[in-house]
Amino acid sequence: MTKNEYHIADVPVHYSSNGHSNHHPVAPALYELPGEEVQDIMSKMPHRIIRQGITILFVAVILMFAGAYFIKYPDVITTNVNITSSNPAVKVVSQTNGRIQQIFVQDNQLVKRDESICLLENTANYKEMLLLKSLLNHLDTALTLENTIRSVSFDQYTQLGELQPGYADLYQSVHQYLFFVEKNFIAQKVKQLQSQIDYQFDLNKELVNKDVLLKQQLLLENKKFKADSFLVKEKVIAPLEFDDSKKELINKQINADATKTGILQNKLQQTEYLKTITDLRQQNLQQQNDLQQKIREDVKRLQAQWEMWEQKYIMKSPVDGKAVFFNVWKENQYVADGEAVLMIVPPVGNYVAKASLHVDGAGKVRPGQKVLIRLSSYPFEEFGMIPGTVANISSVALDTAYSMEILLTNGLTTNMNKKIPSQAELPGIAEVLTDNKNILERLFEKIWRGNKQY
């Protein structure tokens, strides 16, 4: 290094030949380059540092691959799910437009199956409708219809609304039957014919007695005829007298035969009378049965009309449970046809989770896979998720979705050990954990799939 040049670390000053200094930036070309020793040191990396770097890099790669092998995460398929009790709640809806005429139960009251809950406004009197139902059931189950009809009253039903014409038909049928039974014209005819039979029977007795006498006369006349036959041969009596005896015998024989004929005709007449009585009695039974059948048909028809009226105007509980009204319903409130008025919540039993699984990716879902359910009403960050497993999947999709049933492994207890209160229905989102693969498998699977495409 000359005396006129300095390193860049020093103050860059250049002296002229006359000894005066000029302050100005030094050009890069004038900077002093490192010495040969320094350059030799900087150009040769120490072997220890190289080995340590390679080792650290190798270990890092090994750790990365180990982590990619041991770290696994599953595919997640989400779908809507609804958790319900094995005895699901049932909605009770109105079947017609109208106002509520009467409410029979209170909110949250326990009710029995088929118990009446409320009555919608209609033209019939509810008490008379209940009495009519009891009457119809009484007539429908009666073994002896005549006795049952005589034991009830039919004149107290005047406000049956839509059922009034049907009741009028039943009322007319009942009175026709009672008129037939009370007047009983056929029975009177049978009674008259029975009197004729009794007369014929007495006449037959007389004819039988007369036949006995005529037979005795015929026997005596036959003896007399035989004696006269002997006497006429001996010429004791004249032939003319013998002819008179023969004529008398013939007359006696004719009278005896006539009596027998009368007896036969009398018996024949009795048979005709008995046949007529049998026909009349059969006719009487047939007419009586037809009238009873007409009553029973009217009863059945009226029962069907009553059930239609009941279905239309009376809301009844379909199951045992608690009646929960959707709004604060009161009498005279208006409801529309198809409007849900209340829900019957049966006693809570086992819970069943039903989900609708879309066909996209459904082939990855199999029974036994884990499921996590996030409830809509309970944020999972605070309450956790309900664990479960896939129980079964329907074999056929309906409207591009399969039906999937999920088994709740811990009931309504979440994975944060919090118990969800019992409810009739809990909607939410189900996350089905499908293929649980590590990062390496997923990486090479994508590479393999990419190579397959070319």
For residues 343 and 332, give the distance between their C-alpha atoms in angstroms, rounded to a whole number. Answer: 20
Domain 88-115+317-347 and domain 124-309 have a common topology: no
Ranking 19-33, 35-49, 114-128, 391-405 by mean pLDDT, the lowest is 19-33
CATH assignment, 124-309: 1.20.1270
Matching residue, tokens 């309970």: 378
Q: How far is CA 57 from the centre of its chain?
A: 71
Domain segments of the chain: what residues?
1-32, 75-87+349-453, 88-115+317-347, 124-309
Q: What average pLDDT does the segment 342-359 reach? A: 81
Q: How far is CA 197 from the centre of its chain?
A: 64
The type of residue at 125 is N
For residues 107 and 120, give the distance between their C-alpha atoms in angstroms, rounded to a whole number. Answer: 17
75-87+349-453, which class in CATH? mainly beta
pLDDT tens for residues 137-176?
888 888 888 788 887 777 778 888 889 999 999 999 888 8
- Does the pTM of the predicted model rise above 0.85? no
- Whether the per-residue pLDDT at 31 is higher than 50: the answer is no
Q: What's 419's DSSP letter? A: B
pLDDT tens for residues 101-141?
888 888 888 889 888 888 998 888 999 999 999 889 888 88
For residues 115 and 314, give the distance between their C-alpha atoms in angstroms, rounded to a whole number. Answer: 10
pLDDT at site 72: 59
**What secondary structure does DSSP assign to 237-258, as a single string?**
S-HHHHHHHHHHHHHHHHHHHH
- Tell me the Cα Rg of the chain: 59
Alpha-carbon torsion (206, 208, 211, 215), positive or negative: negative
For residues 84 and 350, give the distance between their C-alpha atoms in angstroms, rounded to a whole number. Answer: 9
Q: What's 111's DSSP letter? A: E
Bridge partners of 404?
A: 355, 393
- Whether the per-residue pLDDT at 360 is higher than 70: the answer is yes
Ranking 59-73, 273-287, 429-443 by mean pLDDT, the lowest is 59-73
pLDDT at site 299: 92
Q: What average pLDDT does the segment 230-239 reach? A: 71
Task: Tell me if residue 402 falls in helix, strand or coil.
Answer: strand
Bridge partners of 431?
A: 78, 372
Mean pLDDT of the chain: 77
Domain at 88-115+317-347: CATH architecture:
Beta Barrel (2.40)
Are 331 and 100 within 8 A, CB to CB?
Answer: yes
- Whether the per-residue pLDDT at 32 is higher than 60: the answer is no
Residues with Cβ < 8 Å from 209, sequence gap 6 or more?
none
Helix (H) or strand (E) holding 286: helix 239-313
